Amino acid sequence: MFKKILIANRGEIACRVIKTAKKMGILTVAVYSDADKDARHVELADEAVHIGGSASRDSYLQADRIIAACKKTGAEAVHPGYGFLSENEAFARKVEEEGIVFIGPKHHSIAAMGDKIASKKLANEAKVNTIPGWNDAIESAERAVEIAKDIGYPVMIKASAGGGGKGLRVAFNDKEAFEGFTSCRNEARNSFGDDRVFIEKFVEEPRHIEIQVLGDAHGHVIYLNERECSIQRRHQKVIEEAPSPFISDATRRAMGEQAVALAKAVDYQSAGTVEFVVGKDQSFYFLEMNTRLQVEHPVTEAITGLDLVELMIRVAAGEPLPLAQQDVKREGWAIECRINAEDPFRNFLPSTGRLVRFQPPKETMFSADTEHLYGVRVDTGVYDGGEIPMFYDSMIAKLIVHGRDRAHAIALMREALNGFVIRGISSNIPFQAALLAHPKFVSGDFNTGFIAEHYGKGFHAEDVPHDDPDFLVALAAFVHRRYRARASGISGQLEGHGVKVGEQFVAVVLDERGQHVHKSVSVTDFHGQTGSSVVAVGSNSYQIDSRAPLGSIRVEGLVNGRAFTAQVERGAGKNPLALRVSHNGTQIETMVLSPLGAQLLSLMPYKAPPDLSKFLMSPMPGLLVEVSVQPGQQVQAGEKLAVIEAMKMENVLFATQDGVVGHIAAARGESLAVDQIIMEFA
């Protein structure tokens, strides 16, 4: 077994690999960029080596520097994690040539599966179902139309070297096939330097289901069940679960056996994933093979009780697999939500900056530990007070739950999301909460078009209906009454003039348009020591019990005998006097006032928000990479004004109306905050 390994990655996956290595008694070496000098993976590792600038092309993609770091520290093996160089055949070969072990498949396996056209031919030879299509590069748009007609519409036009949704079009007729081929080819040439394009049948109502495989150097390959990854936004997975609520046992076995056949055909020696597209009739076709550990590997770990990182390390060290196919378990149901630094209410734009608060829900399962199952696990590479840099992808944590069945896992996940406190940056937690509550998700009736179909026009606060909105008002009144009780006990009060707290209040809820909705509330049977009150909101009554310390964001307790977790903050929203309450993805801001206070508030004049239409403001934190106009320039609606870059994503800002550029307030190369003014129009 290795004495020391280097992790050629960052963030949560680097931390995840370090935990398994520690469990196995292996020393670890971290590598880091300028932006990551204070990162969590650097702190967790036994030693760390600086490998370059903040941008990944200057650090984590520098193969020679990573190999030099191995030699300098005496690391015998490299774990590449996922992303960066994990599926780079040249890197794997170079590592092997330098006498260092690559903790992953052999370079020839990566090469065989890395090219979509070559991998499809191999799959055909291994008798793996492949989508009907034309697997050779197509020379012209006219030929593409002929082929599309032969296959039968709809067809999918894909770049051979594509990935992440780039170089991909769906065509339903000759015109779309002609135009789609041309744009795919151009996009592929610009993005990947490879303009080969192929065409295949487009599967309707498709589901994205993948099989986890594991092979060793002794010719053994097994499959560890499947993962359902159909909940995707712009080809990026959002929620993953294992097993799939859709496929039958017969389909699972057939998919697993074909995945094993493909892995054996390329002499696969490590953990890998064979991805399939599955039609509504359970017909399944090979998509591609990911020759690395997947982001969503924890859901497989939960249902099988196996540590996949440990098995990868053992296989790389030459050990045979410790189990056979019949030993693979499938117990309970696991779900993973990717917690991303993005603002769902601003079209999922990246959100970078300091994590003012980062308090994950209480963990009962832990990465690298399969002794504790059925519960909650958080895999992350960040910490309270840490910085989310703009140079890498937006995922800051993975929230994993393992339940007895699917309904239990969904309930566990909703409660865990309620208790996940993230402040200082925006996160996609409200969106995840909405997905988990959607009746179609709950019933398991979804496909890869689910998010586009239900949230095609963006995500809005009203997309998260709460099953009991008055509970949020009751909780605000309960917490306010506790604050008033504390204030009433202040020392030095004049005798006979002490603070008296009544039982009748008015909750003034601020709606989206800043309008006030008044609700009569009473808080009776108040017990300061036991943290118990009866709160009436209109005709609804709530017995709330909670001993959460005042000032803590996370509030846990019982309401009418049922457990709940919510988040309550004072002065966190637009109004410094309001309490902000969040539960099940819904958020309200409410002021809890005495009846007289509410009456006086209603007499206050309405303050209209300022007119910001003459300013161009940054919709997200990021780097201003281009200013496309000059002061005094006449611009028309739709004209490009500026380009901002953050988290591997470019955002082009266009003029919303005709006008003349006045003052330009930000310069190219400047780091911008959200809503920072870039330019003003005359």
Positions annotated as catalytic residues are 288
Distance of CA 271 to the CA centre of its chain: 22
Amino acid at 36: D
Q: What is the largest CA-CA distance in the chain?
A: 94
> To 5 degrees, how large is the angle CA 376–CA 237–CA 353?
75
Residue 621 · residue 350 · CB < 8 Å: yes
Tell whether omega for the bond before 243 is within 30 degrees of 0, i.e. cis: yes
| Strand-strand pairing, 155-163 and 166-171 | antiparallel
Q: Would you tell me how many other CB atoms lie within 10 Å of the CB of residue 253?
A: 12
Q: How many CA atoms lie within 13 A of 67 on its CB side?
A: 17
Residue 351 · residue 426 · CB < 8 Å: yes
Task: For residue 297, give the nearest of 237, 343, 252, 217 by alpha carbon.
Answer: 237
Residue 619 · residue 672 · CB < 8 Å: no
Q: Write phi, then psi, for 114 (nearest 5 degrees).
A: -75, -25
Task: For residue 507, give the nearest of 568, 597, 586 by alpha carbon.
Answer: 597
Contacts 24+ apart (CB under 8 A), 175-180: 177/141, 177/144, 177/145, 177/148, 177/153, 178/141, 178/142, 178/144, 178/145, 180/144
What does the radius of gyration of the chain's CA atoms come to, in whole angstroms? 28
Task: Name, in order, each residue with C-beta under 8 angstroms of 457's C-beta and a sequence gap of 6 or more.
Answer: none
Provide the token pair at 475.
């909780």
Torsion of CA 77, 80, 85, 89, to 10 degrees: 60
User: H or E element: which one contains 661?
Assistant: strand 659-664
> What is residue 461's DSSP assignment?
G
> To 5 degrees, how large is the angle CA 417–CA 441–CA 368?
50
Return the HEC string of 534-591: EEEECCEEEEEECCCCCCCCEEEEEECCEEEEEEEEECCCCCCCCEEEEECCEEEEEE
Provide the token pair at 459.
């995500």
How far, in Å, are 332, 335, 435, 522, 665 from residue 404 at the CA level? 5, 12, 20, 40, 56
